[in-house]
């Protein structure tokens, strides 16, 4: 049976929608809500990429188990530490005590400071690599897009960029998460609003990140907010390239 979570191959969407928050970071209105996206790669080794706001942990864990059942997760990759994405780290670690957290030097200081989480770590630097089996992941440091620890993870096997808040937009995902299967009307305005209020304040780091990612053969963008982009990549990158 085709799994409702599948993006492509064994990459799955396990994010959640927040329809109750009125203002993002207590400031920016959310007329269409917001999604907190997380992704699962179900390879020989299983990797979870970013988590979700802690308020949604129960539904989040249910979605993870729909994909992998009771199998353990090997790696938790943290691209960004803002609580809308890092909030479930402590509970994930409780459920999967042997999980290895993947992050950079800045990430680990924050994880311990925010959540008191320690344990096995894989500390990555720009260009470092992690093989899950078929999927080969490479890590790109993108500091200040839009926090100091922000990085992106690129799946070289399928050309999937897990971009953290980069290329994100406001708006919940209603009935689907792939851009090709959704009415995108509301998202374009919400992307401009997200970019200009949250990420675009860091114009120069964004440009540096775009230069770094420019040569990658990106087929899919999996951001931490909004649809998964497969068809509209040039338009999405264009909105962030101002």
**Contact call for residues 83 and 54 (beta carbons, < 8 A):** yes
DSSP strand pairing (136-141 vs 129-131): antiparallel
Residue span binding Fe ion (CB under 5 A) among the ranges 68-76, 184-192, 221-229, 231-239: 221-229
CB closer to Fe ion out of 46 and 161 = 161
Residue nearest to Fe ion (CB): 82
Residue span binding Fe ion (CB under 5 A) among the ranges 3-11, 92-100, 164-172, 176-184: 164-172
Cα 219 from Cα 229, distance rounded (Å): 8
CB closer to Fe ion out of 82 and 155 = 82
Least Å from the CB of residue 69 to Fe ion: 29
165 binds Fe ion (CB under 5 A): yes
Residues 74-103 touching Fe ion, rule: CB under 5 A, are: 82, 84
53 binds Fe ion (CB under 5 A): no
Tokens 């802690």, residue located: 54
Closest of 73, 80, 18, 24 to residue 48, by C-alpha: 73
Tokens of 139: 């890590």
CB closer to Fe ion out of 42 and 82 = 82
Angle of the 233-240 helix axis to the 185-194 helix axis, nearest 10: 30
- Residues at the contact surface with Fe ion, assessed by CB under 5 A: 82, 84, 165, 224
């Amino acid at each position: 049976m085709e799994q409702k979570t599948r993006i492509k191959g064994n990459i799955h969407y396990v994010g959640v929608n927040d329809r109750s928050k009125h203002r993002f970071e207590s400031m920016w209105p959310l007329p269409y809500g917001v999604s907190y996206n997380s992704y699962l790669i179900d390879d020989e080794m299983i990797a979870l990429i970013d988590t979700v706001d802690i308020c949604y942990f129960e539904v989040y864990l249910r979605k993870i188990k729909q994909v992998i059942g009771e199998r353990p997760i090997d790696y938790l990759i943290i691209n960004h530490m803002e609580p809308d994405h890092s909030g479930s780290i402590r509970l994930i670690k409780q459920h999967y005590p042997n999980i290895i957290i993947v992050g950079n030097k800045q990430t680990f200081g924050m994880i311990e400071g925010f959540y008191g989480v320690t344990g096995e770590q894989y500390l990555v630097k720009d260009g470092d690599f992690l093989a899950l089996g078929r999927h080969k992941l490479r890590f790109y440091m993108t500091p200040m897009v839009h926090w100091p620890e922000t990085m992106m993870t690129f799946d070289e096997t399928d050309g999937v960029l897990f971009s953290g808040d980069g290329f994100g937009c406001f708006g919940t995902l209603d009935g689907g998460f792939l851009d090709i299967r959704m009415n995108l009307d509301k998202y374009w305005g919400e992307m401009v609003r997200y970019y200009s209020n949250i990420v675009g304040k860091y114009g120069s780091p964004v440009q540096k990140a775009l230069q770094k990612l420019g040569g990658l053969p990106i087929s899919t963008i999996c951001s931490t907010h909004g649809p998964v982009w497969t068809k509209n990549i040039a338009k999405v990158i264009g909105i962030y390239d101002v």
